[in-house]
Amino acid sequence: MWSEFAAQRQAAELLHRSLKNNRLSHAYLFSGARGAGKRKMAKHLAKAIFCLRQNGDSCGECKNCRLIEEGNHLDVHWIEPEKNIIRIKQIEDLQKKFSYRAAESSHKVYIMEEAEKMNQEATNRLLKFLEEPPQGVVAILLTSNIHDLLPTVLSRCQIVSFHAPSPEAIAERLEQQGIKQGLARTAARIANDMDEAHTLCQSESFAQLRSLVIQLSEDIMERGTYALVTIHDKLLKQEKDPDRIDLFLDLLLLWFRDLLLFLLGQESQITNNDQMEPIQKQALRISQRRLVDGMGTILVTKNRLTHYANLQLSLEDMVLRLQEG
């Protein structure tokens, strides 16, 4: 049912109205971040077009809905990149299939994932298909990078924008996949989309970096200059990738934020909620002002490193400033 798409209500309502009023466009472009639900809604739109029971919606139970869910409906075709490219032969094969009479109904639907990965030849062939679509054909293009598509493609589609999923929504989906709550919430807060968050959770070094952040924070508050040893031995000796260093700083910033939220009495907003014991222990030793200043120091360090400042000196300076605060 369209009501299932509460996170993308505007997009769902637009498509539902189009179906109910028999004003379905011949081509849609679903644009939005990975994990926003574009693929799921494209499949639902296909079901709603072919559903035998509902008017403008999908029952999910009739023959057509079940065939589409299983990927076996003869009039619904999926196009995906082959070796990261959508090639002209895929478009030609699609056109050949669509030259035949619809097998199950008066409609045919094709859904193209990662449409921005079409090469030039495929794009040119698709443009001709969009300009003169056969009667009853509905195109649904999906993209996370709309700016990589030619304006001529955009002009021939009705663009449906998808909001990026909230960190809460990403965390919930990660937990449903068996990821522990603390890691799921942390990855969801840092990542840009569902795919990146899932990749982080599958990385052993992600959990290790989070543990190192907790240790470093403890050392800064309790062990004085020993924190410099920690940052040198546990981070600088282990991590050479600038992206991993940046991830470490993001995790440290998030940890300081959690300490501040604890002091403000906003425990329900804490991201690392599986680490409440060290959060409480550390938060009671530090002031709100020092935490705010510390977060500023971490942000300054991140900015310096984007401008190719000396990595070791920048991190050592950060640790000393965090202690002085």
pLDDT tier for residue 274 given thresholds of 50, 70 and 90:
very high
If one compares 10 and 309, the residue with the highest pLDDT of the two is 10
Q: In the predicted model, is pLDDT for residue 52 greater than 80?
A: yes
Give dist(CA 256, CA 262) in Å, integer: 10
> b/e per residue, 219-254, with b = 16+ CB within 10 A?
bbbeeeeebbebbeebbeeebeeeebbebbbbbbbb
Residue 251 has what pLDDT? 96
Q: Decide if pLDDT at 69 tops 90.
A: yes
* CB distance 183 to 53 below 8 Å: no
What is the model's pTM?
0.66
**pLDDT at residue number 325:** 64
Q: Where are the chain's structural domains?
A: 2-164, 203-324
Does the pLDDT value for residue 105 go beyond 70?
A: no
pLDDT at 66: 94
Q: Is the pLDDT of residue 148 over 60?
A: yes
- Position 299 pLDDT exceeds 90: yes
* CATH number assigned to the domain with residue range 2-164, chosen from the 4 options 3.40.50.300, 2.60.40.10, 3.40.50.450, 3.30.200.20: 3.40.50.300
Read off the tokens for 62: 């009739």
| For residue 190, pLDDT beyond 80 | yes
Short-list 296, 212, 218, CA closest to 253: 296
Give the right CATH number for 203-324 from 3.40.50.720, 3.30.70.1520, 1.20.272.10, 1.10.472.10.
Answer: 1.20.272.10
Please tell me the distance from the alpha carbon of residue 100 to that of residue 17, in angstroms, as a whole number.
29
What's the pLDDT score for residue 281? 94
Nearest-10 crossing angle of helices 204-222, 242-263: 60
Range 32-47 average pLDDT: 90
Instruction: Name which of 154, 88, 164, 155 is nearest 121 in CA terms.
Output: 88
Percentage of residues in the chain having pLDDT higher than 70: 97
Most confident of the ranges 62-71, 166-175, 216-225: 62-71
Q: What is the three-state SS of 2-62?
A: HHHCHHHHHHHHHHHHHHHCCCCCCEEEEECCCCCCHHHHHHHHHHHHHCCCCCCCCCCCC
Between 226 and 275, name the one with better pLDDT. Answer: 275
What pLDDT does 309 receive? 77
Alpha-carbon distances of 9 from 137, 188, 194, rounded to whole Å = 25, 22, 19
Residue-wise pLDDT tens digits, 83-97: 899 999 999 998 888
pLDDT at 263 over 90: yes
